[in-house]
A = this chain, B = another copy of it.
Amino acid sequence: MTRGFAAEEFRARVARAQARMDKAGLGALLLTTEPDVRYFTGYLTRFWESPCRAWYLVVPVSGEPIAVIPSIGAALMGETWISDIRTWPAPDPEDDGVSLLAEALGEVGGPVGLPSHQGKALRMPLNDLEAVKAQSGLAFTDDRGIVAGLRAVKSEAEIAKIAQACAIAGRAFDRVHEIAAPGVVLSRVFRDFQRLLLEEGADWVPYLAGGAGPEGYADVISPASDARLERGDVLMLDTGAVWDGYFCDYDRNFAIGEASEAQRAAHARLIEATQAGLEAARPGARACDVWRAMADVVGGGEEAGRLGHGLGMQLTEGLSVSAKDQTVLEPGMVITLEPGVELRPGKIMVHEEDIVITSNVPKPLSPWAGLDLPVI
């Protein structure tokens, strides 16, 4: 499978953004985060892990994007389709790209749309944003959700990358019996599962959570403890593994040694709920309709919380499968279905799959789990 995208795909993304910018009356977009910059450029590096350098992309309402970046990134950005690359020797305590960015924005003109809404961080110092505003003299506003809206609907090439990440995780999940057994420390299972993901082809493993216990686990976000797995536990592993910059995000539950009736019943109900979510996830339905279909199976009102979310260049992005999210589904959207049930107060089981919305029945991207809780 080929890495990267054709330059035409990036040009099409920019053209779609520009059409929406024109309609919204924006002169430029200013992007500061890894996925937003990568979406329009293809610039892929794990160097964003270092917070000491800011990276900027200016997308004008017409013409090509301008990358305003630390000189350490010049060579790698030069390999993308972007031709207007302006660099400074960062980090510079006196002027860390502020003048260069203000100048680029000044050439392009405003108003400047900066993603400022839910799910969007500002990956630059606030002081520098204020300085850029002052130096450029331009008006700044939210990007009106333009970038998030574009990113929510994936191309075939993007979907193929997510499917690849899902397939890799599927092969790793098939090997959990190699690493999990009564007596094994949970932190060891977590380390080994990341190893399996890498062996099966993941580029890297930004996310792994999970838990274990006879009546489920406390949450789905905790790091591994040094507790030992015991016969009768249910073990859950939930991973975000990456292939070529695209995530999978799904989990699997395993009964250790033997499965209790309560565990089996909970698992079957989770799979039924996921199936109900799949059937509801048609174009034109809203995110809250998919939530309703799953909540009806697992029970619970709004407190059932978020039962899935958008997925792509980030582990979670865009819509929430929740009672309040009115986002209308469109073909090309990739979402997770993630119902949960409570086995006793404070102990839960959760199941998760990844799907892509099509013009008809959604297509599962993760290998669909059966009703039976696997025993290992």
Contacts and interface: CB of A to CB of B under 8 A. Distances in A.
Contacts of A119: 51-52, 91, 125
Nearest to A46: B207
Interface in A306-356: 306, 309, 314-317, 320, 322, 324-325, 346
A85 B45 CA distance: 36
B121 A51 contact: yes
Interface stretch (A5-13, A71-79, A154-162): A71-79
Contact of A126 (B116, B198, B202): B116
Interface stretch (A92-100, A254-262, A269-277): A92-100
A195 interface: yes
Contacts of A128: 118
Contact of A50 (B51, B76, B316): B316
A248 to B, nearest CB: 13
A114 interface: yes
Contact of A89 (B92, B204, B303, B315): B303
Contacts of A198: 191-192, 194-195, 198
Interface string A36-73: 00000000111101111000000000000000000111
A217 to B, nearest CB: 10
A207 B204 CA distance: 9
A311 B71 CA distance: 21
Interface in A75-130: 75-76, 89, 91-94, 96, 114, 116-128
Nearest to A187: B203
Given A118-B125, A324-B94, A223 B191 contact: no
Interface residues of A, number: 75
A283 to B, nearest CB: 21
Contacts of A91: 118-119, 306, 320, 322
Nearest to A199: B195
B118 A72 contact: no
Contacts of A22: none
A222 B46 CA distance: 8
A240 B324 CA distance: 39
Given A47-B209, A52-B320, A126-B116, A93 B199 contact: no
A317 B51 CA distance: 7
A305 interface: yes
A279 interface: no
B45 A222 contact: yes
A51 B314 contact: yes
A371 to B, nearest CB: 27
Contact of A127 (B126, B142, B191, B206): B142
- 5 closest Cβ pairs, A-B complex: A116-B126, A47-B221, A50-B316, A122-B122, A49-B207
6 contacts: A46-B223, A49-B207, A52-B119, A72-B305, A73-B219, A89-B303
Interface of A: 3, 44-47, 49-52, 71-73, 75-76, 89, 91-94, 96, 114, 116-128, 142, 187, 190-192, 194-195, 198-199, 201-209, 218-224, 226, 240, 302-303, 305-306, 309, 314-317, 320, 322, 324-325, 346
Given A116-B126, A127-B142, A195-B199, 9 more contacts: A45-B222, A46-B206, A52-B309, A93-B118, A187-B203, A191-B199, A191-B201, A194-B205, A195-B195
